[in-house]
């Protein structure tokens, strides 16, 4: 595909990734709206129902390893389109649940398989299309997930109110099936498959950009300290990351906030996360990935502390915005820093493997927070532990360095 009038096709790939993440993550975080509806209808415990999302989070991160490998091998188009089928089946199937094990199967397993084809394939593909503007490109693509988080929970609330939660799930499933399969058609594996070079550079510049980016296959990368430092940093930040995203609606309801306004808190998280992705992605191209990541981790730790001081809607918006900004920045900088440390060639496999390891640990957070609430009637200890994990991530970041020796060709 030729480059027309100075326009680089990589930005089309960024746009496609933006739309995939908008739809997938917007639907994912609408779970908080359905969470409240399911609690009201069936009277299940918060810990029991939180376990559905925890299983889902664990499996979609774990399946990210397979999605990354398949993206490197087959390209993102087939992977994302197939994921759309699984995600739509899981969501539409939720309309038929009667027992607690039903959502564990339909959402926790089937939808998780579909969701695994969003984050890793999209971000790893964008990493392959860009080198000099990697932070900005990944930030723009990733902001789709945050804007989806802003836009779709209120839509879910309105659909649940107008149609009931069962029919609302059918609408979400059908929309995902059609939309993801259409968007997948613009996703190309890397610039080389269409005769282009990263960032749209000329051939000689592309060769220069690729110097020092010798491939790091997984079998060699896992032998480096750098690889496990990256794992530790993101594991520590992601273990608590789903707690606000799953529990913020019932947390807001406990404060006496109405259901509709409570759903808007998720939207605040989403728009703030979009800003975090765009701002810190671009800033990281200038000040360095590690510095930008350190700032983001500090803000996230402070936000978890701030949740304990929330007393009403205004303060919840403020703290939620701080959390959303930092969460969005951290998840954007993750694939970018993997690309910086280990190059483009194996980005899908490496991002997928690290995402499977560190991201799957995020499954622990919501169910532990639910259990803490069921035992104590509040989330205080959940927020304290979350802040502590961010302090650990910051300590590990100060020690992290790119691998010193390049592998042999």
User: What SS3 state is found at 4?
Assistant: strand
At 311-348, the pLDDT tens digits run 889 999 999 999 999 998 998 898 888 888 887 767 77
Q: 326: number of CA atoms within 13 Å, CB side?
A: 25
The answer to whether residue 262 scores a pLDDT higher than 80 is yes
From 32-36, 233-237, 241-245, 386-390, the region with the lowest mean pLDDT: 32-36
The answer to whether residue 393 scores a pLDDT higher than 70 is yes
The answer to whether residue 24 scores a pLDDT higher than 60 is yes
Provide the pLDDT for residue 202.
57
The answer to whether residue 1 scores a pLDDT higher than 70 is no
> In terms of Cα–Cα distance, which of 352, 320, 319 is closest to 335?
352
pLDDT-derived band at 91, boundaries 50, 70, 90: very high
Residue 4 sits at φ, ψ, to 5 deg, of: -100, 125
pLDDT-derived band at 212, boundaries 50, 70, 90: very low
Q: Are 126 and 191 in contact (CB under 8 A)?
A: no
Whole-angstrom distance, CA of residue 346 vs CA of residue 132: 18
pLDDT-derived band at 405, boundaries 50, 70, 90: low
Whole-angstrom distance, CA of residue 366 vs CA of residue 130: 35
Provide the pLDDT for residue 347.
76
Provide the pLDDT for residue 322.
95
Residue 313 has a CB neighbour count (10 Å cut-off) of: 18
At 220-231, the pLDDT tens digits run 888 999 999 999
The answer to whether residue 392 scores a pLDDT higher than 50 is yes
Mean pLDDT within 190-210: 67
The structural domains of the chain, with segments of one domain joined by +, span: 10-190+220-399
Could you please report the per-residue DSSP string of 337-401?
HHHHHH-STTHHHHHHHHIIIIIHGGGHHHHHHHHHHHHHSS-HHHHHHHHHHHHHHHHHHHH--
Q: Supply the pTM of this predicted model.
A: 0.76
Provide the pLDDT for residue 170.
94
Provide the pLDDT for residue 383.
93
Mean pLDDT within 75-84: 93
Helix (H) or strand (E) holding 61: helix 46-62
Q: Are 163 and 7 in contact (CB under 8 A)?
A: no
Whole-angstrom distance, CA of residue 393 vs CA of residue 294: 9
At 113-165, the pLDDT tens digits run 999 999 889 988 998 898 888 888 989 998 888 788 778 888 888 898 889 88
CATH topology of domain 10-190+220-399: Growth Hormone; Chain: A; (1.20.1250)
The answer to whether residue 36 scores a pLDDT higher than 50 is yes
Mean pLDDT within 88-110: 93
Q: Are 38 and 103 in contact (CB under 8 A)?
A: yes
- Tokens representing residue 295 in the block: 């700032």
At 278-304, the pLDDT tens digits run 899 889 989 988 999 999 999 999 999
From 147-156, 167-176, 209-218, 369-378, the region with the lowest mean pLDDT: 209-218
The answer to whether residue 209 scores a pLDDT higher than 60 is no
């Amino acid at each position: 595909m030729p480059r027309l009038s100075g326009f680089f096709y990589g930005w089309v790939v960024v746009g496609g990734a933006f739309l995939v993440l908008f739809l997938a993550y917007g639907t994912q975080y609408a779970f908080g709206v359905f969470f409240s509806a399911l609690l009201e209808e069936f009277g299940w415990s918060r810990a029991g129902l939180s376990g559905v999302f925890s299983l889902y989070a664990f499996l979609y991160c774990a399946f990210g390893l397979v999605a990354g490998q398949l993206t490197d091998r087959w390209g993102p188009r087939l992977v994302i389109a197939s994921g759309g089928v699984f995600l739509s089946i899981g969501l539409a199937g939720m309309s038929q649940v009667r027992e607690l094990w039903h959502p564990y199967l339909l959402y926790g397993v089937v939808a998780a398989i579909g969701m695994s084809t969003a984050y890793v394939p999209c971000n790893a593909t964008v990493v392959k299309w860009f080198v000099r503007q990697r932070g900005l490109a990944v930030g723009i693509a990733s902001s789709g997930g945050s804007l989806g988080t802003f836009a779709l929970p209120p839509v879910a609330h309105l659909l649940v109110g107008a149609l009931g939660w069962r029919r609302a799930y059918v609408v979400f499933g059908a929309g995902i099936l059609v939309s993801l399969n259409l968007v997948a058609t613009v996703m190309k594996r890397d610039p080389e498959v269409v005769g282009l070079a990263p960032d749209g550079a000329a051939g000689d510049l592309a060769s220069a950009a690729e110097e020092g980016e010798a491939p790091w296959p997984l079998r060699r990368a896992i032998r480096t300290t750098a690889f496990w430092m990256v794992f530790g940093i993101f594991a520590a930040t992601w273990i608590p990351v789903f707690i606000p995203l799953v529990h913020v609606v019932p947390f807001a309801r406990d404060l006496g906030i109405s259901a509709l306004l409570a759903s808007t808190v998720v939207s605040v998280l989403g728009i703030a996360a979009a800003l975090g992705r765009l701002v810190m992605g671009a800033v990281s191209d200038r000040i360095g990935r590690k510095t930008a990541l350190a700032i983001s981790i500090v803000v996230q730790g402070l936000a978890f502390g701030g949740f304990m001081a929330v007393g009403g809607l205004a303060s919840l918006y403020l703290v939620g915005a701080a959390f959303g900004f930092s969460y969005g920045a951290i998840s954007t900088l993750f694939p970018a820093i993997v690309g910086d440390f280990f190059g483009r060639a194996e980005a899908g496999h490496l991002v997928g493997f690290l995402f499977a390891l560190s991201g799957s640990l995020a499954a622990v957070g919501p169910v532990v927070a639910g259990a803490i609430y069921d035992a104590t009637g509040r989330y205080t200890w959940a927020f304290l532990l979350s802040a502590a994990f961010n302090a650990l991530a910051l300590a590990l970041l100060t020690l992290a360095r790119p691998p010193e020796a390049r592998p042999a060709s």
